[in-house]
Amino acid sequence: MGLLPHPFRALVIGSSGTIGSAFMELLQNNPSCSMVVGISRQSAPSIDYQIPESIELAAKALASKAPFQLIINTIGVLHSADWMPEKKLDDLNADQLSELMKINAIGPALTIRHFSKLLDSQHSIMATLSAKVGSIEDNRLGGWYGYRASKAALNMLIKTAAIELGRIKPNTALVALHPGTVNSRLSKPFKGEQIGRPALDAVSDLFKVIESIEKQDSGSFLSYSGEKLPW
């Protein structure tokens, strides 16, 4: 029996992104979803990982809409106007590594800290978008040092929080999700338009995975296909 109840209330963090806005559309059209709230850098309240205090402020501002049975965090970066993923050791630099850690690991971890308080303690799921390239076990190609390392750090933070929440909120599952390659802003410089799937197809697969999550799945790294990925 899945943890997600029907009806359920949902929150999408990073609702301005390609996968985030597709989740908004999917949930708005799901009759079991009685309310969906989206937040991003542009919303009110806003959440901006360059301003860590905004995370706690946004969670406090949304407390009146809680409890949520589903929270999905889709915030993440792979490249910026100033840098692209590193291909070799000589491309490593402190600014890029710190930026990726800040947006892909520290921001999502603080989001788990503050937003897990808004989860329904009877039955709820908090899913954070990770990436299979963050799997240490699965790393065969190398490259993309900062993105891989930041998603591996994110995975460890999710796993560790899942163990703690398992004690205090045993009916909550915390998971890392891999969406597959999706045609989005993030994947555009890497042939995302040619090799990526439409975001709505990816989120419809991810939602099926979310619906199948049971409490013993907390602390897992799950692919859009439902497969459990190695850390």
Ligand X SMILES: NC(=O)c1ccc[n+]([C@@H]2O[C@H](COP(=O)([O-])OP(=O)(O)OC[C@H]3O[C@@H](n4cnc5c(N)ncnc54)[C@H](OP(=O)(O)O)[C@@H]3O)[C@@H](O)[C@H]2O)c1
Residues at the site binding ligand X, with contacts judged by CB under 6 A: 14, 16-20, 40-42, 47-50, 74-77, 103, 129, 131, 179, 181-182, 184-187, 196
**Residue 122 Cβ, how far from ligand X at the closest point, in Å?**
28
Nearer to ligand X, 123 or 179 (CB): 179
Contacts of 73 (CB under 8 A, 6+ apart): 13, 14, 108, 111, 115, 126, 127, 128, 129
Judged by DSSP in three states, 64 sits in: helix
Closest to ligand X by CB, 103 or 112:
103
Q: Angle at which helices 145-168 and 107-115 pack, to 10 degrees?
A: 20
Give me the DSSP letters along 82-118: S-----SGGG--HHHHHHHHIIIIIHHHHHHHHHGGG
Rounded least distance, CB 84 to ligand X, Å: 14
Choose between 118 and 131: whose C-beta lies nearer to ligand X.
131
Residue nearest to ligand X (CB): 76
Locus of tokens 């309240």: 45
Identity of the residue, 110 or 118, whose beta carbon is nearer to ligand X in the bound complex: 110
Q: How far is the CB of 198 from ligand X (least distance, A)?
A: 11
**At its nearest, how many Å lie between ligand X and the CB of residue 170?**
27
